[in-house]
Amino acid sequence: MEHKENHIVGYGTYIFVWLTLVALTALTVTVANFDLGNFSIVLALAIASIKALLVMLIFMHLKFDDKIFRIFVFIAFLTLAIFLVLTFSDYSFIR
């Protein structure tokens, strides 16, 4: 299991990702001003997730590393998701 030692991400790619992150930040602040009811938090989390994904894939090099790292990260987030969903099996259904 070797990761691709030779891939160096260029400054241009990094700056482009940064610009996207800033734009998404502007987006999330803007949409927060609208009353979208329950959808507000879904949207906020979706935007935050895209930002986090960009940071992980490009800044943290996951896109260019061996597949095993992406699998590991997926397992970690899956674990958190399971904790959340099962806990809400309690809270969402209290009479």
Q: How far is the CB of 44 from other proteins (least distance, A)?
A: 4
> Using CB under 8 A, which residues numbered 1 to 20 contact other proteins?
1-3, 8-11, 14-15, 17-18
- Is residue 88 a contact residue for other proteins (CB under 8 A)? yes
Q: What residues numbered 23-62 form the site for other proteins, per CB under 8 A?
A: 25, 28-29, 32-33, 35, 40-41, 44-45, 47-48, 51-52, 55-56, 58-61
Q: Does 69 bind other proteins (CB under 8 A)?
A: yes
Alpha-carbon distances of 89 from 39, 66, 82, 94, rounded to whole Å: 20, 36, 11, 9
Nearest to 24 by CA among 44, 39, 2, 41: 44
**Residue whose C-alpha is closest to residue 58's, from 25, 19, 12, 13:** 13
